[in-house]
Amino acid sequence: MIDTIEYDYPEFHLSMDCFWCVIVNGEIALKEAEAAKWLCKDNLYSVKWLPADISLVDKIEKSLW
C-alpha cells in the first residue's frame, strides 16, 4: 500500500486507500474514474490533480527517484 488519503471536500469526506499495482495482462477497465493516462515520473505534475490527490502524487514522486 502507498497510503490512505483522508480529505474533506465541502460536500463529503474522502477516505481513499491507494496501492501499487501491476497489470499482468489485458486492458484497464475504468469503474470509478472518468479518465486515465500513463505518466512517467517527469510528467507527474502535467495533470491538474484534485486537492486530495496532491499528497499522494508527492509520495509517488519521492518513491520513483
Domain map of the chain by residue range? Answer: 35-65
pLDDT tens column, 6-61: 999 999 999 999 999 989 999 888 898 878 888 999 999 999 999 999 999 999 99
CA atoms within 13 A on the CB side of 37: 11
18: which DSSP letter?
A: E
CA distance readout (Å), 44 to 18, 26, 39, 59: 16, 24, 6, 11
* pLDDT of 29: 87
Predicted confidence band at 4 (pLDDT cuts at 50, 70, 90)? Answer: very high
* pLDDT of 28: 84
* pLDDT of 34: 79
For the entire predicted model, the pTM comes to: 0.75
- Are the C-beta atoms of residues 18 and 3 closer than 8 Å to each other? yes
State the cell numbers at 14. 474522502
Q: Is the pLDDT of residue 65 over 80?
A: no
